[in-house]
Amino acid sequence: TNTYVIEIDTESVTYLENNYPKLHGKIIAKDFLKYNINEVFEGKPFAIIGNFPYNISTQIVFKMLELRHQIPEFSGMFQKEVAERICEKKGSKAYGILSVLVQAFYDAEYLFTVNEDVFIPPPKVKSGVLRLRRKANFTLPCSEKLLFTVVKTAFQQRRKTLRNSLKTLNLTDNLREDTIFDLRPEQLSVEQFIALTQKIEADGV
């Protein structure tokens, strides 16, 4: 198996080149969010593992979702609250857009917490390590683009019922009578969001 390292910081790239000769020719000195990963992988599958910069960690997850057809496994360290959010189940305040969209395609497992004192200098937050394994069947029975829209629109007004938060989707009165619209987004499981998207799709949105 080939291992590639993506690192934007020039000092870190120099350190890796000087201390890890096995990585010679395998270090990509680029911004992961802007880099076309298929310059290296050419459409083939690959796994991602990393200690991600916390300020862009959610953007990294969304990029992973865009490349989900190539990424069967993803592991890494996030700020603890973000890692928990990704793995959270319905019914809690932490459950949100990231939880639903990641778990639509991956089985998410929170592995362990990393305390501040193991770092020098110690950060002000705890960290959490998670593992995502892509589901055997990760093709959804609904429009994936519409699912993203429904989930994001619903959670942008998470205290409202779906009947109110999804008004902008111009649903028919007949569909809006469905009892699922009495719920708030945090009350719906991933499967229910997929079923809801199917109903909206059938409604002609």
Average confidence (pLDDT) over 176-184: 91
Structure confidence at residue 146 (pLDDT): 96
Partnered with residue 114 across adjacent β-strands are 127
Percentage of the chain surpassing pLDDT 70?
Answer: 99
Structure confidence at residue 176 (pLDDT): 84
pLDDT tens digits along 137-152: 999 999 999 999 999 9
Alpha helices in the chain (DSSP H): 10-19, 38-41, 57-66, 80-87, 97-105, 144-156, 162-165, 173-176, 190-202
pLDDT tens digits along 34-84: 999 999 999 999 999 999 999 999 999 999 999 999 999 999 999 999 999
pLDDT tens digits along 70-116: 999 999 999 999 999 999 999 999 999 999 999 999 999 999 999 99
Closest by CA position to 186, among listed 160, 167, 168 = 160
Tell me, what amino acid is at 72? P
pTM comes to 0.92
Task: Give kind and range of the element (H or E) at residue 6.
Answer: strand 5-6
Pair of tokens at residue 48: 């991602």
Give Cβ neighbours of residue 92 (< 8 Å, ≥ 6 apart): 186
Peptide bond into 72 cis (omega under 30): no
Structure confidence at residue 205 (pLDDT): 54
